[in-house]
Each structure stands twice: as C-alpha cells, then as structure tokens.
Chain A
Amino acid sequence: MPLALEIISPERLLLARDVDMVVIPGTEGDLGILPSHAKVVTSLRGGLVDIYESGKITDRFFVTGGFAEVTESRCSVLADEIIRQAAIDTVAAQAKLAEAKAAFDAVDTQDTDAYREASDKLISAQAMVDSAVAAPAQADTI
C-alpha cells in the first residue's frame, strides 16, 4: 500500500502523489512516515522534506515551517513556503539568515509568542542555508 503524500502551500497544492516513504522535519525531530503510520499531527520546523521511492531520495523540498497531518494512508504537509531543494538561492538564504539573527537578537524574551516566532524563523533560516548545500535528490543514500 503506497502512502499518498500531499505538499500544500496556502496558495496551491504543490504535489500530490503516492510515495514509498517521506521524511518530514517535525519540531521535535525528523519523522519518517511509512504507510500505515499511526495518526499524528505535528508542527514542522524549517528543513527538508525527503521523498523516498524504491530506496532512493527522488525529491527534496525545503519547507520554512508549517504543519503535517499523518493518517494511515495519507501524509499532508501544510507548509508556509516550499522550495525545491535544487532551487534554493544560497545568497538569498544567507541574507535571510542574517535578518533572522538580527530579529532574534532584538526580540523581547518576555514576550513568549514573539520569542517563539523569532526562534522559529532563525532555525528555519539556518536550515535553509544548510539545505542549500545538502546532497541533491536521486543520490544513492541508502
């Protein structure tokens, strides 16, 4: 039984297809989702969504954060922003990281919501920079 993966941004449905396995970057750590996974909802940190088909990573998408809903037969990734890993602009990512760092340093640590948001952004920006240099899809990683 395949796993129906959906990657959805607020503006459109980016991808909907059956895959063997997907690894999503949950806030508490990466989750590898196989078919018949227990039902889970989780928030996502910035990181790579890796799509596995016949033992290989066939697609890598960078997400800036969001949510994922997993049921036995389906995995829906609700991402804030989605970029194909190969299309990440390293310069823009660096600029974003610098901006996020400045914002994080300036944030009021008493304001929990603002603090959480700023740290989320910082983690996401760092992950974007790291993702830009990560191995491309179709690499023989398994």
Chain B
Amino acid sequence: MPSLKTLRNRINSVKSTQKITSAMKMVAAAKLRRAQAQAEASRPYAVRMAEMLAALAASEAGNPNANSLLVGNGKSQTHLLVAVTADRGLAGAFNANIAKQVRQKAAILQAEGKRVKVFALGRKGSDALRRDMREQISGTKNFVGKKVVTFADAEEVAQEIIRGFKAGEYDVVTLVFNRFHSVMSQKPFEQALIPAAAPTANDNTMEHNYEVEPDDGSLLDRLLPRNLAVQIYAALLENAAGFYASQMTAMDSATRNAGQMIKRLTLDYNRARQANITKELIEIISGAEAV
C-alpha cells in the first residue's frame, strides 16, 4: 500500500497533466478552425485550375510530345513517395499512419522490382522513416516554427520535385497524406502527382471548345507545374487541418483518461486514509483496554 503522501503527489501530478492536455485540446480546436478556414479559402483556385487542366489535358490525348509532367516519361522504374506529415506529435496515430502507409507502399513497389525514394515533408515523418528507410530518403522539408503554410512553401516543394523529375531521379511521383474526412476521421490517401491523371482518348471532354492562348502546349507547360504546387498546397492544408483535428481528439481522450485516473487515485487515497484512521483508533482503544 503506497503511503498517503505518494498518493497525494500522484493525484497532483495527474491533475497538472490534465490541465495541460485540456489546454492543448482547446488550442488545437482553435487552430483547427483556422486551418479549416484556410483550406476552404484555397478551394476556388484548385477547382478552377482542375477544370482548366481537365479541358486541356483531354486534348493532349495521343499526343506523343505531350508534357512529361502530364503523361509521365514513359518509365515507372523509380518511384518517389512524398510523405506529408505534421511537424509535431501528440496527435494519436496521425503521423504513424502515414509512415505505415509509406512503408507498405514501398514494400509493394519493391516486391515488383521497382526502386523507391521518399521525400519526407514534415518533421515527424522524416523522424519516423529515417530509422529504417534512411538510404531511400532523397529529401526532407519541414515547416517548424511557421504558423501557417503558405502557397510559396508548396511551390518550393513542387519546384524541388519537378527538378528531380526532369533530372531523371525518379519516374513516378505519388503524394501520401492524411485526407480530412471529418474531425474524428483522417485516413491516409495516395494521390498521383506525376504523371498527372493521364488523359484517355475516349474522354467525353476531348473536344474542349475553348480558344487557347498562346496554344495548348505552352499553356500546359505553365499550368502543370502550378497544378503540382496547388495539389501539394491542398495536401499541406488538409494535413494541417487533420493534424489539429487528430490532436484535439487525442487530447480530449487524454483529458478524459486523466479524469478517470484522478477518480481512482482519489478513491485509493481515501481508502488509505480511512484505513490509517481505523488503525490508529484500534491502537488507541487496545492501548486503553490494556491499561
């Protein structure tokens, strides 16, 4: 039986932990709202860009000289997995899920005889993957110390990825990030970046009726890198929203667990206290009887 003092100390320490977790929950909830608003604000651009790209991409079907960002470079030997994670932890399995998904995907690709490289976007992802995939990590980037990710950040990453692709370091690029389904649920999701969804000849929108300036090819040359940046930006924003949602849920259950623990410890404490009183009474009474 632990002494009263140790029990009291434990109760106090659990109580202060509970204060921290409940504060973190509140902070995460506020940041979640901001992250969601940011994600919402970025949607119109992404929607319009996707529309334009779909119209133009369809017209490139069957064109042997189509931009390699759109149709790939004809090989699929080396894959680059872009793992998007948060920079901080304490968010349940949020970051671990991405690491797991990347490992699984890498194992499948390697079983097919492909080479796999990893670009770790976010500190937690690079920490987790560095342990067993050190040689495969071709690049890392994180946004530690930044309040919000900006489009310029995403563009930097996109340029880095395009540079590697043009240099022939990899043939296929896939983005792995947590898709924000709801506050309670974020699931790892894979999205093809290069080649961007290859157009098919029997696409309905093949005959787009836009006039295009300067021409389809050079417009796509400008549109595709930008589209890549937009997709990475969207993934980063979804990652941020998902992270705060996940952290909020994790901190909420931590607060609840701490509450349960305090209840149990308080019960133990009171039992021990009463046992002590009873023991002392017995001692006094039997002492008095002996006289």
Contacts and interface: CB of A to CB of B under 8 A. Distances in A.
Give the 6 A-B CB pairs with smallest separation, nearest first. Answer: A42-B213, A12-B41, A10-B151, A13-B44, A40-B211, A8-B45
Interface in B28-77: 38, 41-42, 44-45, 48-49, 51-52, 55-56
A42 B221 CA distance: 12
A67 B218 CA distance: 12
B52 A41 contact: yes
Contacts of A80: 226
A92 to B, nearest CB: 15
Give the most central of A11, A38, A67: most B CB within 10 Å.
A11
A40 B45 contact: no
B214 A43 contact: yes
A27 B213 contact: yes
Contact of A40 (B44, B49, B51, B213): B213
A11 B213 contact: no
11 contacts: A8-B45, A10-B154, A11-B42, A12-B41, A28-B214, A39-B209, A40-B211, A42-B214, A67-B223, A76-B48, A78-B52
B41 A11 contact: yes
Size bracket of the A interface: 20 to 34
A66 B155 CA distance: 14
A116 interface: yes
Contact of B211 (A8, A12, A38): A38
Contacts of B52: 41, 67, 69, 78
At the interface, is chain A mostly helix, strand, loop or mixed? strand
B173 to A, nearest CB: 17
B230 interface: yes
A8 B49 CA distance: 10
Interface in A55-110: 66-67, 69, 76, 78, 80
Interface residues of B, number: 30
A13 B39 CA distance: 12
A42 to B, nearest CB: 4
B213 A10 contact: no
A50 interface: no
Contacts of B41: 11-13
A140 interface: no
A67 to B, nearest CB: 6
Contacts of A6: 44, 48
B133 interface: no
B42 A10 contact: yes
Interface in B186-233: 209-214, 218-219, 221-223, 226, 229-230, 233
B150 interface: yes
A76 B209 CA distance: 17
Contacts of B212: 40-42
A11 B151 contact: yes
A119 interface: no
Contact of B213 (A8, A26, A78): A26
A8 B48 contact: yes
Contact of A78 (B49, B55, B209, B214): B49
Contacts of B226: 66-67, 80
Interface string B92-134: 0000000000000000000000000000000000000000000
Contacts of A78: 45, 48-49, 52
Contact of A10 (B56, B209, B222, B230): B230
Nearest to A112: B221
Given A13-B44, A40-B210, A42-B212, 5 more contacts: A6-B44, A40-B212, A41-B56, A43-B219, A69-B52
Nearest to A65: B222
Contact of A42 (B44, B150, B154, B219): B219
Nearest to A39: B210
Interface string A1-39: 000001011111100000000000011100000000011
A135 B202 CA distance: 50
